[in-house]
Structure 1
Amino acid sequence: CFVGDGVNDAPALATAGIGIAIGAGAPVAAENASVVLVRSDLTGVVQTLDLARAAFSRVRLNFIFAMGYNILCIPLAAGVLFPLTHIRVPPALASASMALSSTCVIASSMTLQWYKPPKL
Structure 2
Amino acid sequence: MEQINKLVNLSFLRKFTNNDEEKLKHYIRVYLSTAEKMFGDLDKNRDSISMEELYTRVHSLKPQTTYAGILGLPEILIEIETSIKNKAERAEIIEKLDRAIHLNQRGMEELQTYLG
TM-score by length of 2: 0.35
More strand as a share of residues? 1
- Larger Cα Rg: Structure 1 or Structure 2? 1
TM-score by length of 1: 0.34
Higher relative contact order (CA 8 A, sep 6+): 2
